[in-house]
Amino acid sequence: MPHIEISPPLLDSGEEGVVRPTQVIVDLEALAHNFQEIRRWVHPAGVMAVLKANAYGHGLVPVARLLAHLGADYLGVAVLEEGILLRRAGIRTPILVLGGVLGSRIPLFLKYDLTLTASSMETLRQISEAAGALGRRARVHLKIDTGMERIGVHAENAERFLEEAVRCRHIHLEGIYSHFANADLPDPALTRWQWDRFQEVLGFFERHSLPMPLRHIANSAALVRFPETHLDLVRPGILLYGVYPSEAVPRRLSVRPAITWKTRVVYLKVVPQGRGVSYGWTWRAPRATRVATLPVGYGDGYFRALSNRAQVLLRGRRHPQVGTICMDQMMVQVEQEVPVAVGDEVVLIGCQGPACIPVEEVARWAGTIPYEVLTSINTRVPRVYRGPETLLRVLQDRQR
């Protein structure tokens, strides 16, 4: 299948064809399929595709270009720098910066036509003053804290906040939103409590006969479990990338994982019986044992916590990782009957033939969640995008 390599700038010489054996393969067809599944499920609500943390490890700009081409109504990022990067890449789709705002940086939001989150009365006034000084109107979404206790005005104190937002002459009040803290937990009670609080806040606009701004609260878990929360926009994050938020979320959408993390065997040896492997000798060979070295480690985002717990795919079979995972290398035990050679492909996350290691399993081994596994894959790992030529061309088009 055709592909594009997008490598990090490790080489100053512009050498072509030099790509690390450790790569992340991103399946554009899976991403497109997932987006279309979500859009079908939530229609007539729009979709704000969440691209935080390098698009959950899949590559910020390429994924943004693809989703803009597919018709995403909005893009969501965490920080100002992500929004600027997308604008400089030619992305024209509306972009909401979901994180907090420092007053001194507000002119940059306006320069790059980014939508601001106003999460306090003070921030609202700072935005209005900065926009007024530039003779502009800032596009703003108000953040209401219904139970996350992160940023946003508490729902019970929202009346004055909304009144002030409506009065600000230099603010275009485009949207209002909140965030669920527990939508991926089995018990729906807390999510329904947050939903009721948000509905009470939204009643302000009806009571004052004001036009309703764009409303959004549903994350990946909520858009699947609680269709009533779809409102005007939904904000899928991890579901876009083919991973369900938790076991409590029913598999109602047929999304597909879009990422495969691969490397290759770079060294083979036989470790004598009783000899330890790697730092601290946390694993010792029970007998004379073949061990393969892989050029990947915690410096790439393959957690040290996976030491002596993880498995990889080699020749279509699972093999245990052994010894402490190093910054740049790790070792794998290979059974004698397996015909392994230097250069053989190894899959860390994804499938090799019928055998698969899903990101959820890697997260369990590490004692964490799939979100952290995906977003921790270091940017020194090249992203290689595979898909039909029609989608590959989208990634190269700055006008999308």
pLDDT per position as a tens digit, 263-281? 999 999 999 999 999 999 9
Under the banding of pLDDT at 50, 70 and 90, the label for residue 16 is low
Phi first, then psi: give them for residue 236, nearest 5 degrees.
-70, 135
Instruction: Quote the pLDDT of residue 166.
Output: 96
Q: What is the mean pLDDT of residues 120-126?
A: 96
Domain ranges of the chain: 28-241, 259-357
What would the pLDDT profile of 214-265 be if each residue is shown by its tens digit? Answer: 999 999 999 999 999 999 999 999 999 999 999 999 999 999 999 999 999 9
Instruction: Quote the pLDDT of residue 228.
Output: 98
Catalytic residue among 111, 267, 269, 279: 279
Q: What is the mean pLDDT of residues 306-327?
A: 98
Decide if pLDDT at 379 tops 60.
yes
Q: Can 28-241 and 259-357 be said to share one CATH topology?
A: no
CA 392 – CA 400 distance, rounded (Å)? 12
Decide if pLDDT at 8 tops 50.
yes
Decide if pLDDT at 168 tops 90.
yes
Q: Is 279 a catalytic residue?
A: yes
- CB-count burial class (<10 Å; 0-12, 13-18, 19+) for 284: middle
Q: Is 111 a catalytic residue?
A: no
Instruction: Quote the pLDDT of residue 15.
Output: 54
Decide if pLDDT at 195 tops 90.
yes
Under the banding of pLDDT at 50, 70 and 90, the label for residue 103 is confident
Instruction: Quote the pLDDT of residue 23.
Output: 96
Q: What is the mean pLDDT of residues 200-227?
A: 98
Instruction: Quote the pLDDT of residue 346.
Output: 98
Q: What is the mean pLDDT of residues 177-183?
A: 98
CB-CB contact of 1 with 387 (8 Å): yes
CB-CB contact of 263 with 295 (8 Å): yes
What architecture is domain 259-357? Beta Barrel (2.40)
Say whether domain 28-241 belongs to CATH 3.40.50.1950: no
What would the pLDDT profile of 283-302 be if each residue is shown by its tens digit? Answer: 999 999 999 999 999 999 99
> What is the residue-averaged pLDDT of the chain?
94
How far, rounded to the nearest angstrom, does the alpha carbon of residue 248 sit from its chain's CA centroid? Answer: 20
> Which residues does residue 267 pair with via DSSP β-bridges, in sequence order?
293
Instruction: Quote the pLDDT of residue 11.
Output: 45
Q: What is the mean pLDDT of residues 115-138?
A: 96
- String of b and e for 106-145 (b: at least 16 CB within 10 Å)? beebbebebbbbbbeeebbebbbebbeeeeebbbbbbbbb
Under the banding of pLDDT at 50, 70 and 90, the label for residue 20 is confident
Looking at the chain, the number of H-run helices and the number of E-run strands are 12, 22
Token digits of residue 216: 């959004």
- CB-count burial class (<10 Å; 0-12, 13-18, 19+) for 393: middle
CB-CB contact of 153 with 122 (8 Å): no
Catalytic residue among 52, 112, 371, 385: 52
